[in-house]
A and B are shown apart, each in its own frame.
Chain A
Amino acid sequence: MESCAQKKKYAAKDYKSDLKPIWCPGCGDYTVLNAITRALAELALPPEEVAVVSGIGCSSRIPAYTSVYGFHGVHGRALPVATGLKLARPDLTVLVTGGDGDGFSIGGNHFLHACRRNVDLTYIVMDNQVYGMTKGQASPTTAPDWEGSKLTPEGTGINPFQPLVVGLASGANFVARVSSSDPVNMAQIIVEAIRHPGFSLVQVLSPCVTFRPEQAEWRDIVRTAVVDVTDDAARAARRLMTDDGFNVGKVLYKGSRPPFRPEFENTSGSVAELEARFAL
């Protein structure tokens, strides 16, 4: 076993900023922040070599609560910002954090193409099936009969989005579901997600205690998935389509597709050569 001194260059709290989170007490996102910081400490990544990118929403506040480089952009666009950053700076470890509304509704198209493109990113989605920051409207993952929002008082009546299945179908290279009630397991999965090349998708069941108080029961409903990781996307998708959404704690799929990484070639070409082509 490695000694502490050899291994532990960083503690989890080294990855936390001094900024005090504004999340509601009991929010699952606190756990996610803790899991991310633990994962980074375990990977012993220098904070300046990590970037966390987000859009808008409660969970998108995470970058400012970390001590790594952060980018807090506009609603739904975290994935393209992260894509540009990672492609321009392949040396950085880039995480993307956000919620179900940010990622699967307004940012839905980017989600599909981020999976397809398979850039080496880790996307941690805190799914609470509700828009929290705007006071509790139905999100893409909300059940059709949820009547808790003034905007859709009789429920949305439309089918919930299946992020992991869609992720698999679109080409995500790593798929896992975890629960905010098990932060240590979450940290372990996030470590695996970061280490796995390509686009890693981690769905976190992260209750909204304010607008979906019934989600407090999730901690008692979730169970550790009894399946082993597969490299067969169809198999993983079949499992996900037939489960109730509460099998957590495992990596469900690990693919081997090489990440999209256009090379900044150190070519001998020069601007003068480009210009020469225009000369008569």
Chain B
Amino acid sequence: MSHSTSKSVAIATVPELLAHALAMETEAAERYGELAVQMEIHRKTAVAVIFRRLESAEKKHLAEITEMCRNVELPHYAPWDFKWTGAESPEAIDTGRVHYQLSVREAILLAYEHERKAAEFYAGVADSAQAADVKEMARQFAAEEQEHIGWLEGWLAQCGPADALALEDPDPPLGQE
């Protein structure tokens, strides 16, 4: 799988970059956790396990970045003021794209897509940054994302072709209130 071209992202200072990284990792960890819960609630254990592993990886990233932010005065961004290239922070899977019968393969592909977006975001920052420290840090973050991408590629290779029967639902929806 090849890397797509990164989009330029105008981030001038290390605190700005850290604020973005902190938000991105927080949202990614939370989102993977939420998706894991959704899958657990609906007894989709295999998919839930994937999301839990990713949540755990993101939490680790988050802890590292939180550590880096110590003693740094971070600027405040409203959710809509971040310089993401898409609607949300790039690493958070769009909740609207999962579904009840999400297969392990689809889950990995979704995660892969968003991890790549994260890497591209950092690459974009590195490409367009003027300041050397910003460039350096962004490159480092991009490389870390690349590590997740590598895992996902490995998982994908293990999970085999799409299951043709995946969309059959033996448990129709129930009426509630």
- Whether A and B touch directly in their complex, counting CB atoms under 8 A apart, is answered as yes
Seen from chain A, the residues whose Cβ lies within 8 Å of a Cβ on chain B are 1-8, 11-13, 20-28, 30-31, 34, 38, 42, 56-57, 75, 133-136, 180-185, 187-188, 191, 207, 209-211, 216, 219
Contact A30 B34 (CB under 8 A): yes
Given contacts A25-B99, A26-B96, contact A184 B79 (CB under 8 A): yes
Chain A residue contacts of B40, Cβ below 8 A: 20
Contact indicator per residue, chain B 16-56, by CB within 8 Å of chain A (1) or not (0): 00010000001000100011011111101000000000000
Main secondary structure on B side of the interface with A: loop
Q: Which residue of B lies closest to A74 (CB)?
A: B177
Q: Offer 21 A-B interface pairs, CB within 8 angstroms, sorted by A.
A: A1-B76, A2-B75, A3-B74, A4-B19, A5-B74, A21-B37, A21-B41, A23-B38, A26-B100, A30-B95, A31-B95, A34-B95, A38-B79, A42-B78, A133-B177, A135-B175, A184-B88, A187-B80, A207-B96, A209-B100, A210-B173
B158 within 8 A of A: no
How far does the alpha carbon of A48 sit from the alpha carbon of B102 in the complex, in Å? 37
How far does the alpha carbon of A180 sit from the alpha carbon of B39 in the complex, in Å? 20
How far does the alpha carbon of A124 sit from the alpha carbon of B100 in the complex, in Å? 25
Chain A residue contacts of B88, Cβ below 8 A: 183-184
B166 within 8 A of A: no
Main secondary structure on A side of the interface with B: loop
Given contacts A4-B74, A38-B79, contact A24 B100 (CB under 8 A): yes
B97 within 8 A of A: yes
How far does the alpha carbon of A38 sit from the alpha carbon of B41 in the complex, in Å? 24
How far does the alpha carbon of A1 sit from the alpha carbon of B16 in the complex, in Å? 11
Chain A residue contacts of B176, Cβ below 8 A: 133-134
- State how many angstroms separate the Cβ of B85 from the closest Cβ of chain A: 12
Besides A3-B75, A24-B99, 9 new A-B residue pairs in contact (Cβ under 8 A), listed by A number: A1-B75, A5-B74, A20-B41, A25-B102, A30-B34, A31-B96, A42-B78, A184-B80, A188-B79
How far does the alpha carbon of A158 sit from the alpha carbon of B76 in the complex, in Å? 49
B98 within 8 A of A: yes
Q: Which residue of A lies closest to B76 (CB)?
A: A7
How far does the alpha carbon of A81 sit from the alpha carbon of B57 in the complex, in Å? 44
Chain B residue contacts of A13, Cβ below 8 A: 30
Max count, chain B CB within 10 A of own CB: residue among A22, A26, A191, A219: A26
